[in-house]
Amino acid sequence: MKSSVITFPGSNCDRDMDVALRKFGFKNKMVWHADAELPKSDLVVLPGGFSYGDYLRCGSMASKSKIMQSVINFANSGGMVMGICNGFQILVETGLVPGVLLRNKYLEFICKNVFVKINNKQNKYFKNVNNEVLEFHIAHNEGNYFCTNDQLKEIDDNNQIAINYCDENGKIEDQFNPNGSIKNIAGIFNKEKNVLGMMPHPERMIDKSLSGEDGSLFFKNLINNLK
Amino acid sequence: MIVNEQVAIDHGLKKDEYIKICELLKRTPNITELGIFSAMWNEHCSYKSSRLHLKKLPTKGKKVIQGPGENAGVIDIEDNDAIVFKIESHNHPSFIEPYQGAATGVGGIMRDVFTMGARPIANLNSIHFGSPQHKKTKNLLRGVVHGIGGYGNCMGVPTIAGQTSFDSSYNGNILVNAMTLGLVKKDKIFYSKAAGLNKPVIYVGSKTGRDGIHGASMASASFDEKIEEKKPTVQVGDPFTEKLLLEACLELMAGDSIIAIQDMGAAGLTSSSIEMASKGNLGIEINLNKVPCRETKMTPYEIMLSESQERMLIVLENGKEEHAKKIFDKWNLDFAVIGKTTKTKKIELYFDKEKVADIPVNTLVENSPMYDRKWKKTKLPKKNRIKKEDIKHLKIIDVLKKILANPNVCSKQWIWEQYDHTVMGDTIQKPGGDAGVVRVHGTDKAVAASVDSSAVYCWAHPLTGGKQVVCESFRNLISVGAKPIAITNCLNFGSPENEKNMGEFVECVQGIGEASDYLKFPVVSGNVSFYNQTKDQGIKPTPAIGGVGLIKNYKNMISMEFKEVENLVLVIGKTEGHIDQSLFARIILDEKNGPPPEVNLFNEKNNGETLLKLIDNNLIKSAHDVSLGGLITAVAKMCIKGKKGINIKKPKYLINELEYLFAEDQGRYIIEINKKHFKKVADILNKNAVHFDELGVITENELYINDKTKVTIDELSTSNKSWLENYMSK
């Protein structure tokens, strides 16, 4: 399986993502934001970080990068595109997934482990994951997912919510919402479910010496689903 | 502007110093030259009050590749890998503008590290605030934490450990010390020594603006009521540009174009160009019209003294300009050839085709003033005798809860959850333990680092305090299973012109020297920050020690949380019952006098090295050093982190229970072992003449003391976790 990770100026989880993808069997290529063409890929990842310093608005400048037109075309033709953290913010800015990401409710950067419940497994990202709840890791300042009521209705109608923040037993309640996201939304799909944007970083959970191993589970499953 | 004695004094120079400048130049300096002298000769850049004493520190060792004098120290961690590290203060700017002050402190220290060719892999910090009741404390704390996070998070470098304390002596002068570790191949280290004639001098990074002019001079003066007026001297950080600068520099460093490289930190273009020239015994000629400026009509004076951030000066090999420019263009950074190296051994500056400065380099560096300041020795205070009636009403659990909730002991989770501590995917010990640990990417090795200070001990007796901080750093590294290698120090003191404060400095440095010499734990880099005071009141002497150690196989790392019920808990090191200057004495007995606990270097070394032996033999399940709050506080923290209880039996010592539990005797560790290993462990400890007590057995979820006093771990955990969260949410 071939993957591509895009490096924008200010990306800082690009290497971590590269390490994770290769660890679970992807042949990964790093792609520079100013390139025009995407290499042939089965998966494109927009990594975390602070593209363009998060100046102006998180993800907005990166969403206008030269490479992004190819990424958008790739997504629109059904290609798998995953945006993590800042990558999710970039996806939102391109309009590939609905909604916006606001500053965290308590106005502070949060770096910690969280639990997420998988809401929809009818897609290549989560199909065949046995667990209902995964322990992931978040590290962000602007992860407070917001959308209009109309958008929310559409998201619900199309079953576009990927994961929600919850407790270890899968209970989705306000107290387990780290950043104030609507309906505890931690990740969301486009209508066709080939594009996934999520705040948690599975690439930081790929080794039992790190914060946990549910990231390993996610990537192993993902590559199998793509085969 | 005409330069005279008054203008020199307004620049922070002393009358004698101004006379010396005129003598050295054999003429009156012009305003640009005076500005350059004031920047180079202030305390911050010249170390004029401290140099004499710093010379006495041990700086050499088998693992030391580079000691003090470069941008940062470098140590060998085998297999052609090396760690570059340093700590630096940004106290004065952080008090004036906490967010930018702290942010640029973090940015500055990372630049020092990647200037040497190393990719930063971990950040740490030591931050000290006034009394929690003081009206400024909360905002300063919030601002500093946001600033540290804002910069480090954006750079994508994990912040893995730190220290936060509160003391009223910092009410008018907080401390913000930032430390960075970087990883480099031993044969790809870059230095600041220029070499060769007519080599191009290159400016890269951000444009120069008017921010931070005279920042280094400000850091060399005391605060008064007019401090708010100094806001314009605080630099503004741009971590995004620094991230680009990091990547661009490392990309250029992969080749062989660079002769010397130096970041523009304190005193900006002035100190960076002079340092490179001085080390290379060369001259440098700069055309200031070529310096990329952000603002219009900047004068030579302003260009030379600006402390705009995220800039570097490079001496390139001839003919490599195009290659280098391409890299900086790719990262959207300024690149300008602004001058060349010369044989004149002078700094010569041109602006609008006129020569605006002409100064022999040695007058700025070797001939800079050095003072043997008067200082006063601090006598060892007399011991207090604890009266039985003062303590007999005390209930152990109440005291313990009070100590766990004390601002200097309580959990700092509110702080470190705002720092990205997991980016780069190699953090295997997060903040909240004895030391932070990151793997050396792609290898089995890991590097441990901690930062410590004990201002109260240093205040009570600077010589003992200085030794103690080094020992604590040593212990923190050993507690995670790392072999201590070297330290960096950030020496935060009051005015060197005050004999008492100067005495504190001299004796703390002596203590640090003695301990690091004995423990073979040399000082490889550091920074001195004087004038930490408001009006004539100095802070408590606060040397912060950043220690770095190596774990050969990261799978053998030790953490502090209790692991398993039924395991045995021992205390390594003897408890003599030293209560003076302990947290117990200060907050429970309200006794502020007396000597700090004695430091026995033989025991420190022997106990620590023996524990490392036990760890090497896979006999240790968890370990934690005993420090502030004594033995019971250390045990309680291990319980809280491991969500386990313990049944403690006080050994039959002569000292009473409270003394045993809360004394702050040095050289001690709490360890957890499997029962079946007891004999083996006891044998090794006995063979090495290490005293130990059997403390108790791990249980489910309560802390029992001598079968009569008990408390649930949840209750202790609440005491420990709630203080800071409540304080910040009010």
pLDDT at B178 over 70: yes
Q: What are phi and psi of A75, to 5 degrees?
A: -65, -45
Contact predicate A189/A120, CB 8 Å: yes
Interface of B with A (CB under 8 A): 146, 149-150, 153-156, 238-241, 243-244, 331-332, 416-428, 439, 554-555, 557
For B242, the closest chain A residue by CA position comes to A10
B396-434 residue pLDDT tens: 999 999 999 999 999 999 999 999 999 999 999 999 999
Q: Which chain B residues are Cβ-neighbours of A206 within 8 angstroms?
A: 425
Q: What is the mean pLDDT of residues A88-92?
A: 98
- pLDDT of B392 reads 86
Query: Which of B150, B160, B124 lies closest to A141, judged by CA?
Result: B150
Name every residue whose Cβ is closer than 8 Å to that of residue B695 and which is 6 or more positions away in sequence.
Answer: B569, B570, B571, B631, B635, B646, B648, B649, B651, B670
pLDDT at residue B214 is higher than 80: no
Looking at every residue in chain B, the average pLDDT score rounds to 95
CA distance A153 to chain B (A): 33
Rounded to an integer, what distance in angstroms lies between the CA atom of residue B671 and that of residue B667?
A: 13
Confidence band (pLDDT; 50, 70, 90) for A31? very high
d(CA A203, nearest CA chain B) in Å: 8
DSSP B585: I
User: Is the pLDDT at B230 greater than 70, yes or no?
Assistant: no
B149 contacts in chain A (CB < 8 Å): 109
Q: What is the rounded distance in angstroms from the CA atom of residue A81 to the CA atom of residue A194?
A: 6
Q: For residue B51, what pLDDT is reported?
A: 95
Name the phi and psi angles at B721, rounded to 5: -90, -25
Q: What CA–CA distances, in Å, run from B372 to B50, B375, B692?
A: 8, 9, 45
Q: Is B9 helix (H, G, I), strand (E, B) or coil?
A: helix
* CB spacing of B240 vs A52 below 8 angstroms: yes
Please name the member of B240, B416, B557 whose beta carbon is closest to the beta carbon of A50: B240
Tens digits of residue pLDDT in B582-611: 999 999 999 999 999 999 999 999 999 999
**Sheet bearing A80-84, strands edge to edge:** A27-32, A2-7, A43-46, A80-84, A195-198, A185-189, A161-166, A110-118, A133-140
Residue B416: partners with Cβ closer than 8 Å, 6 or more residues away: A111, B159, B162, B430, B431, B432
Q: Are B249 and B331 in contact (CB under 8 A)?
A: no
- Res B488: pLDDT: 98
Q: Which residue has the tokens 């030790």?
A: B558
Tens-place pLDDT, residues B436-467: 999 999 999 999 999 999 999 999 999 999 99
Catalytic positions of A are 85, 201, 203
| Residue among A20, A53, A108 whose CB faces B240 most closely | A53
Output the CA torsion sign for B207, B208, B209, B212.
Answer: positive
**Quick check: A42 and A80 in contact, CB under 8 A?**
yes
- Distance, in Å, from the CA atom of B466 to the CA atom of B512, rounded to the nearest integer, reads 5
Q: Least CA distance to B160: which residue of chain A?
A: A111
Residue B700 exposed, middle or buried by CB count within 10 Å (0-12, 13-18, 19+):
exposed
- The whole-angstrom separation of Cα B530 and Cα B626 is 30
In chain B, the residue whose alpha carbon lies closest to the alpha carbon of A32 is B330
Q: What local confidence, expressed as pLDDT, does residue B20 receive?
A: 96
Quick one: B44 exposed, middle or buried, by C-beta within 10 A (0-12, 13-18, 19+)?
buried
Amino acid identity of B82? A
Task: State both tokens at B10.
Answer: 């307004």
pLDDT at B224: 61
CA-to-CA distance for B572 and B692, rounded, in angstroms?
Answer: 4
Domain boundaries in chain A? 2-226
Mean pLDDT of B490-496: 97
- Report the phi/psi class of residue B573: left, alpha or beta, with left for phi > 0 and alpha for psi in -120 to 50: left
Please report which residue ranges of A77-213 form alpha helices under DSSP H: 86-94, 149-157
**Neighbouring-strand partners of residue A188:** A161, A197
Which residue among B150, B239, B425 sits closest to A19, beta carbon to beta carbon? B425
Categorize the per-residue pLDDT at B2 as very low, low, confident or very high, splitting at 50, 70 and 90: confident
The maximal CA–CA distance of chain A, rounded, in angstroms, is 45
Chain B interface, mutation test: which of A103, A109, A205, most B Cβ atoms within 10 Å? A109
| A117/chain B closest Cα distance in angstroms | 22
Please count the other Cβ atoms lying within 10 Å of the Cβ belonging to residue B657.
16
> With 60 as the cut, is the pLDDT of residue B388 above it?
yes
Q: What is the DSSP string of B108-121?
A: HHHHHHHTTTPEEE
Q: Please answer whether residues B596 and B580 qualify as being in contact, where contact means their C-beta atoms are separated by less than 8 angstroms.
A: yes
* Of B580, B624, B623, residue with least CA distance to B598: B580
pLDDT score for A199? 98
Give B554 to chain A, closest Cα distance, Å. Answer: 9
What sign does the dihedral B144-B150-B151-B157 (CA atoms) show?
Answer: positive
Q: What is the pLDDT of residues A61-86, one digit of tens each?
A: 999 999 999 999 999 999 999 999 99
A211 band by pLDDT with thresholds 50, 70 and 90: confident
A contacts of B161 (beta carbons < 8 Å): none
Q: Nearest-CA distance from A157 to chain B in Å?
A: 36
pLDDT digits (tens, 9 = 90+) for B348-367: 999 999 999 999 999 999 99
Which residue in chain B has the smallest CA separation from A55? B240
Amino acid at B708: K
Angle between helices A214-226 and A14-23 (to 10 degrees): 70
pLDDT given at position B218 = 55
List the single best residue of B416, B423, B553 to mutate versus A (max A Cβ within 10 A).
Answer: B423
Q: Does any CB of chain B come closer than 8 Å to the CB of residue A211? A: yes
Cα–Cα distance, B228 to B218 (Å, whole number):
12
What the block records as the tokens of A16 is 């971590």
Superfamily of domain A2-226: Class I glutamine amidotransferase (GATase) domain (3.40.50.880)
Residue B222 pLDDT level (bands cut at 50, 70, 90): low
What's residue B407's pLDDT? Answer: 98
| DSSP 8-state class, residue B584 | I
Return the SS3 of B340.
Answer: strand
Pairing mode, strands B311-316 and B200-205: antiparallel
Smallest Cα distance from A186 to chain B, Å: 18
Contact at 8 Å (CB) between B90 and B307? no
Which pLDDT value is given to residue B390?
Answer: 82
Count residue pairs from A and B with Cβ separation < 8 A.
85
pLDDT over 70 at B227, yes or no: no
Confidence of residue B233 (pLDDT cuts 50, 70, 90): low
The pTM of the full predicted model, rounded to 2 decimals, is: 0.96
Give residue B216's pLDDT band: very low, low, confident or very high (50, 70, 90). low
What DSSP string runs through B396-460? HHHHHHHHHTSTTTS--HHHHTTS--STTS-EEE-TTSSSEEEE-TTSS-EEEEEEE--HHHHHH
Chosen from B123, B422, B725 to mutate, greatest number of chain A CBs within 10 A:
B422
- Residue B653 confidence class, pLDDT cut points 50, 70, 90: confident
- Closest alpha carbon within chain A to B156: A12
What is the distance between the terminal CA atoms of chain B, rounded to a whole angstrom? 52
Of A111, A119, A117, the C-alpha closest to A137 is A111
Residues B91 and B173 sit within 8 Å (Cβ to Cβ): yes
Q: Are strands A80-84 and A195-198 parallel, antiparallel or unpaired?
A: parallel
CA distance B181 to B179: 7
pLDDT at B231 over 60: no
Q: Residue B289 corresponds to which tokens in the numbers above?
A: 């019209």
What one-character DSSP code corresponds to residue B621? S
Chain A residues touching B555 at Cβ < 8 A: 209
| Cβ contact B154–A13 (<8 Å) | no
Nearest-angstrom CA–CA distance, B686 and A36: 69
Smallest CA-to-CA distance from A200 within A187, A212, A210 is with A187
Residue B654's pLDDT is 72
pLDDT at position B574 is: 95
Query: Cβ of A109 and B419 within 8 Å?
Result: yes
Pairing of strands B427-429, B436-439: antiparallel
Q: Is B692 helix (H, G, I), strand (E, B) or coil?
A: strand
Note the pLDDT of residue A49. 97
Torsion sign over Cα B582, B586, B590, B594: positive
Instruction: List chain A residues with CB under 8 Å of B418.
Output: 108-111
CB contact under 8 A, B146 and A108: yes
**Cβ contact B418–A53 (<8 Å):** no
Say which residue the tokens 């980016």 belong to.
B423
Answer yes or no: is pLDDT of B643 > 70.
yes
CB contact under 8 A, A209 and B439: yes
Take residue B635 and report the two structure tokens written for it: 């045990």
Nearest by CB: B332 against A9, A206, A210 = A9
| Residues A1, A132: Cα–Cα separation, whole Å | 26
Q: What is the mean pLDDT of residues B23-46?
A: 94
Mean of pLDDT values over B135-163: 97
Band (B228; pLDDT cuts 50, 70, 90): low
- The alpha carbon of B509 is separated from its chain's Cα centroid by a whole number of angstroms, namely 15
Across chain B, which distance is largest between two alpha carbons, in Å?
86
CA atoms of B152 and B28, how far apart (whole Å): 44
Alpha-carbon distance B154 to nearest alpha carbon in chain A (angstroms): 6
Q: For residue B186, what is the DSSP state?
A: G
pLDDT confidence bin for B656, thresholds 50/70/90: confident
Shortest CA distance to B480 belongs to which of B605, B625, B602, B374? B625
Please tell me the distance from the alpha carbon of residue A157 to that of residue B724, in angstroms, as a whole number: 43
Judge: B153–A50 Cβ closer than 8 Å, yes or no: yes
A103 touches chain B (CB under 8 A): no
CB contact under 8 A, B422 and A9: no
